[in-house]
A and B are shown apart, each in its own frame.
Chain A
Amino acid sequence: METEPAGARSPRVRRLLARPELAAALGAAVLWIFFTIQAAEPFLSRAGTAAYLNAAAPLGILAVAVSLLMIGGEFDLSVGSIIGVSGMSIMLLTTHFGWPLWPALAATVGLCLSIGYLNGIIVVRTGLPSFIVTLGMLFTVRGLTIAISRGLSGRTQLGGLDGSTGYEAARFLFASSPLPPFRVSVIWWIGLTAAATWVLNRTRYGNWIFGAGGQAETARNLGVPVSRVKISLFMTTAGAACLVGIIQAVQFNGADTLRGTLQEFWAITAVVIGGTLLRGGYGSAIGAALGALIFGLVRQGIVMIGVNADWFQVALGTLLIAAVLFNNQVRRLVEQRR
């Protein structure tokens, strides 16, 4: 029968190489070194570091949640529109209806989670691809946000959140800078990454996410409540988008119906750079966080080295394709029989 040759490389090394976030970690390191060499002065400074971390944080919060969903085998293209509705819901409830801020935040979270639930229940019940369902939801939610905002207030941008009761506490929680110039959103980002990683690797629910994405039928036969897992994941991405909307509304003291536009694609980009497979069943939250870090590094670094910011999308698009090619190669090497 098959006998195992004593492995030349230890299982630990192979496991490390098999980590989905390998390419993202290497990519982030290479970019960091590159920008350090090219523009050490602004880049390595405290302000420079804060610039790219602050830029990465909102996307990071979003991408970490999206990575869980994508590992669970589904897409969510509606997150950008949920960022938009989150901000406008807060602004309308406070400035238009005169609610105190905290009840407005609670209602907004409830609204966003309901949208996530709706995404999930439609996908699970109809069996339609989540790509289509959430694409439909993207337009529906964005359109409703614009229509209702204009209908109620006559405007698509609202400001003056600082006038509402409870603003100071919210500002501390969502938009302060405990270690200036680092924003508190960086802490949210890191905290959520740690929580998602714990969930994926150390909880029963995490194992169910992998199972639901990797082989839903098998998982169901083994007793995994696949539908519930998927619905909860859609609610997680909606919740993360809601949080980003809240952070931005508090930070900018107002909201815009178009806020969050294209964030769904940036999130998927970060998640895929982070090594999560499009077909699900494989991936990592740390990878998604590193994908967001790469986004921040490129966005800020490119300006610091004096390149026109127009090149940002070119760089990120190229990195996306390179990361996926690299991941495929490594996976092929590692997934040989041990």
Chain B
Amino acid sequence: MSSDPRLAVREISKTFGSVRALERVSLDVRAGEVTCLLGDNGAGKTTLIKILSGVYGPTEGEIRLDGTSLQLSSPREALARGITTVYQDLAIAPLMSVWRNFFLGAEPLKGRGPFRRLDPVRCERIAREELARLGVQIADTYQPAGTLSGGERQSLAIARALHRGGRLLVLDEPTAALGVRQTKVLLRTILEVSQEDVGVILVTHNPHHAFPVGDHFVVLRRGQVVADRAKDELSQETLIQLMAGDDLAAGPGGPAA
């Protein structure tokens, strides 16, 4: 069953008006592995994530999930197909309580028929426990999520995605707002999750965070893939050079400005 990767992106391009945000991008994500997507601001990372999570479609190209072609028309559909995305910003509704945020869009219900309803006691407990797994202790998950610190909000969004599970987990700059300890816990959790038959895409511009957890690295620059390598094919230094736009490391076939 190693034939089909979890996610196969084939030659996708995306144009916004006259701007070409992605240019024939191809990459594979395997279940049980962490694929790091690296690149500077404007390299096309966000565009790629939004295509994968159903916000908009590619102009050209094909995406396959476990071998079946994927035509997404909405984020809801992406979620239904098992693609969970954690966005860097826009992760929480600040006035909603922590537990309501945690379950937004995927609320568990109890009871039957017209009496199907939310179970706040259970939701509250699950949210608290799942956050604690990421090293975030919240005394009262009834408090508005807007009272949390930046790192805690990020952890809330990630804990939510981990709890939802799925086949492909896309993390957009998950470490951006985190402190040192929370980053450590998160990276360890990402490793754990990837063991559970989940394909993980870790989007970051921090090679120091990417290198220890990644199995395979894809570097984007100006909308194109400039490197796609397994971990044993490169060092952290090479990775940094690739990101910085050092075409020596990229080898032949690097982008012409």
Contacts and interface: CB of A to CB of B under 8 A. Distances in A.
Interface of A: 1-2, 4, 7, 11, 14-15, 18, 198, 201-204, 206-208, 210-211, 214-215, 217-225, 277, 281-282, 335-338
Interface in B91-125: 91-96, 100, 103-107, 109, 116-118, 120
Given A215-B90, A223-B76, A338 B105 contact: no
9 contacts: A7-B140, A14-B140, A206-B118, A207-B103, A208-B105, A214-B96, A215-B94, A337-B148, A338-B139
Contacts of B118: 201-204, 206-207
B154 interface: no
A282 B144 CA distance: 10
B75 interface: yes
A11 B104 contact: no
Contacts of A219: 93, 104-105
B104 A224 contact: yes
Contacts of A221: 53, 55, 75, 85, 87, 90
B143 interface: yes
Contacts of A18: 142
B236 interface: no
Contact of B104 (A211, A225, A277, A337): A211
B146 interface: yes
Contacts of B116: 203
Given A11-B140, A219-B105, 6 more contacts: A14-B140, A218-B90, A218-B92, A223-B80, A223-B105, A338-B140
Contacts, number: 106
A210 B100 contact: yes
Contacts of A217: 90
A206 B100 CA distance: 10
B137 interface: yes
Contacts of B103: 207
**For chain B, which range describes its interface: under 10, 10 to 19, 20 to 34, or 35 or more residues?**
35 or more
Contacts of B137: 4
B106 A222 contact: yes
A274 B148 CA distance: 26
Given A207-B100, A221-B85, A335 B91 contact: no
B100 A225 contact: no
B94 A225 contact: no
Contacts of B144: 335
Contact of B147 (A208, A210, A281, A335): A335
A207 B107 contact: yes
A338 B96 contact: no
Contact of B95 (A198, A277, A338): A277
Given A202-B118, A222-B75, A338-B147, A207 B140 contact: no
A336 B147 contact: yes
B147 A11 contact: no
Nearest to B87: A221
B210 interface: no
Nearest to B181: A1
A201 B118 CA distance: 8
Nearest to A198: B117
B95 A281 contact: yes
Interface in B47-79: 53, 55, 74-76, 79
> What 9 pairs between A and B have smallest CB-CB spacing?
A214-B93, A222-B105, A223-B105, A215-B93, A223-B76, A282-B95, A202-B117, A204-B107, A223-B79
B253 to A, nearest CB: 35
A222 B75 CA distance: 7
Contacts of A201: 118, 120
A198 to B, nearest CB: 8
Given A1-B181, A11-B139, A14-B140, A204 B109 contact: yes
Contacts of A220: 74-75
Contact of A335 (B87, B105, B146, B181): B146
A332 to B, nearest CB: 11
B147 A7 contact: no
Interface centre among B85, B104, B147, B181 (most CB of A within 10 A): B104
A201 B87 CA distance: 27
Interface string B20-63: 00000000000000000000000000000000010100000000
A300 to B, nearest CB: 34
B139 A223 contact: no
A202 B53 CA distance: 29
Nearest to A214: B93
A338 B147 CA distance: 8
A75 to B, nearest CB: 18
Given A11-B139, A202-B117, A337-B147, A211 B96 contact: yes
Contacts of B117: 198, 202-203
Contacts of A198: 117
Contacts of A225: 76
Given A203-B118, A223-B76, A210 B139 contact: no
Interface centre among A7, A198, A211, A222 (most CB of B within 10 A): A222
A28 B144 CA distance: 26
A210 B96 CA distance: 7
A18 B87 CA distance: 29
Contacts of A206: 118
A38 B159 CA distance: 57
